[in-house]
């Protein structure tokens, strides 16, 4: 783990080291994968960072590393599907750290299953875990910014939507909901000085991929024309760009970072069905 964190810390970046000095960045899902890379990058660029997720130990590992590097980072656990926990989380952050200026929502996930077999409980779990949690957090941030008469930036990490995604219909539906809400509030919240964008990663090498069956994983290199997964830092750089002053005229947009996967590639997250085997 410390080797992985060290590689994130040393990774080349296009951004200047004091870009976010004086800013507080909240990264949901910051204990692993894309969120962790984003949190480490914000910390390297001078932000005070708060990471959240359900598992305190995962958060502690990242915080301990960052603090040893001289960065300012805090880890507060929360179940973001519960609105009350989101409200409490913001109260705690404001009391102990300060009001976040920047929000990156990278908390989420799903399980692979053919859509026809999804149970109502499974459907609801994934909708709640990807649509409700993101909405609760982005709305709470916007409410606080409105109340305090200050702006902010929100970046939601979603999935690529253009071609659908066999094996994860539930998550496609949830993330399409986020895009609809994002485009709507980009207009409603512009007068408040709030920008809202999404990053849509393609297949990315993170712990999150552990939930997929071996036959699906074996074909993951076919997901894009580079025939390799992206790295969490390749996604993090886009999250940070959209949070930065360089993106001050960008709102309501989705930046796809998928190595061209939406143009060419195949991804069968629950395994390739017989019909789609050649010839
Ligand atoms: C070109 C684009 C490329 C994109 C590539 C996309 C690849 C995507 C990668 C990632 O997203 S990586 C990050 C992924 N990380 C995860 O997915 C892990 C997180 N997942 C979870 O935590 C859980 O699966 C969940 C989605 C949050 C559900 O958890 P919850 O605690 O709410 O529910 P459970 O009580 O566990 O289950 C409720 C209900 O759901 C059904 N179910 C759950 N797991 C499975 C499963 N593996 N298979 C089938 N069904 C499942 C089931 O009905 C459960 O109810 P019970 O039967 O247990 O009563
Ligand atoms: N890796 C990939 O190929 C792709 C990933 N994505 C999406 O990007 C996002 C990040 O994924 P990635 O970093 O790869 O995966 P990870 O599973 O590593 O990261 C997801 C993080 O979200 C946290 N989390 C999940 N649900 C909740 C919740 N209800 N409340 C609080 N925290 C939660 C998890 O921590 P904990 O379990 O401790 O709560 C975990 O740290 C996800 O939305 C994922 O679906 C999109 C496209 C491709």
Tokens of 149: 């008469």
Give me ligand 1 centre to Cα 123, in Å: 9
- The model's pLDDT over 22-38, given as tens digits with 9 standing for 90+, comes to 999 999 999 999 999 99
Question: Is residue 136 situated within a structural domain?
Answer: yes
| Stated pTM of the model | 0.97
Q: What is the mean pLDDT of the chain?
A: 96
pLDDT band at 279 (very low <50, low <70, confident <90, very high): confident
ipTM attached to this prediction: 0.95
**Is residue 109 lining ligand 1, measured as CB closer than 6 Å?**
yes
How many distinct structural domains can be found in the chain?
1
Burial of 183 (0-12, 13-18, 19+ CB in 10 A): middle
Q: Which residue, among 166, 161, 160, has the nearest Cα to 116 in the 3D structure? A: 166
Atom of ligand 2 nearest to the CA of 35: 13
For the CA of 232, the nearest ligand: 2
Q: Which residue, among 83, 172, 168, has the nearest Cα to 132 in the 3D structure? A: 83
DSSP string covering 61-95, please?
HHHHHHHHTT-EEEE----TTSHHHHHHHHHHHHH
Question: Is residue 218 situated within a structural domain?
Answer: no
User: Which structural domain range is residue 47 located in?
Assistant: 2-208+231-264
Give me ligand 1 centre to Cα 126, in Å: 6
Question: Is residue 188 situated within a structural domain?
Answer: yes
- The model's pLDDT over 173-202, given as tens digits with 9 standing for 90+, comes to 999 999 999 999 999 999 999 999 999 999
pLDDT band at 18 (very low <50, low <70, confident <90, very high): very high
pLDDT band at 131 (very low <50, low <70, confident <90, very high): very high
**The pLDDT of residue 211:** 84
Give me ligand 2 centre to Cα 18, in Å: 28
**The pLDDT of residue 22:** 98
**Sequence-distant (≥ 6) Cβ neighbours of residue 210 within 8 angstroms:** none
Within 15-76, strands assigned E span 24-28, 48-52, 72-75
By most ligand atoms within 8 Å of CB, the mutation choice from 1, 107, 125, 176 for ligand 2 is 107
**The pLDDT of residue 110:** 96
- Section 66-84 average pLDDT: 98
Question: Is residue 214 situated within a structural domain?
Answer: no
**Sequence-distant (≥ 6) Cβ neighbours of residue 216 within 8 angstroms:** 112, 167, 268, 269, 270, 271, 272
Q: Residue 196: which CATH number?
A: 3.40.50.720
């Amino acid at each position: 783990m410390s080797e992985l964190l060290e590689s994130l810390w040393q990774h080349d970046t296009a951004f200047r080291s004091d870009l976010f000095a004086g800013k507080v960045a909240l990264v949901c899902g910051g204990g692993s994968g894309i969120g962790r890379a984003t949190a480490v990058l914000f910390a390297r660029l001078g932000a005070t960072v708060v990471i959240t997720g359900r598992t305190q130990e995962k958060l502690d590992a990242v915080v301990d590393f960052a603090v040893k590097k001289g960065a300012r980072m805090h880890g507060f656990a929360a179940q973001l599907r519960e609105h009350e926990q989101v409200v409490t989380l913001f109260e705690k952050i404001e009391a102990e750290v300060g009001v976040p200026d920047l929000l990156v929502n990278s908390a989420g996930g799903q399980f692979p299953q053919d859509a026809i077999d999804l149970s109502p409980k499974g459907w609801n779990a994934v909708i709640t875990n990807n649509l409700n949690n993101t909405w609760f957090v982005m709305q709470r941030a916007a409410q606080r910014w409105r109340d305090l008469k200050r702006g902010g930036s929100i970046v939601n990490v979603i999935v690529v939507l253009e071609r659908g995604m066999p094996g994860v219909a539930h998550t496609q539906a949830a993330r399409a909901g986020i895009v609809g809400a994002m485009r709507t509030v980009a207009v409603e919240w512009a007068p408040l000085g709030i920008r809202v964008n999404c990053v849509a990663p393609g297949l990315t090498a993170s712990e999150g991929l552990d939930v997929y069956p071996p036959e699906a994983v074996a074909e993951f290199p076919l997901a894009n024309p580079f025939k390799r997964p992206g790295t969490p830092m390749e996604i993090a750089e886009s999250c940070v760009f959209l949070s930065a002053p360089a993106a001050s005229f960008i709102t309501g947009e989705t930046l796809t970072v998928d190595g061209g996967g939406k143009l060419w590639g195949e991804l069968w997250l629950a395994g390739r069905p017989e019909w789609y085997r050649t010839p």
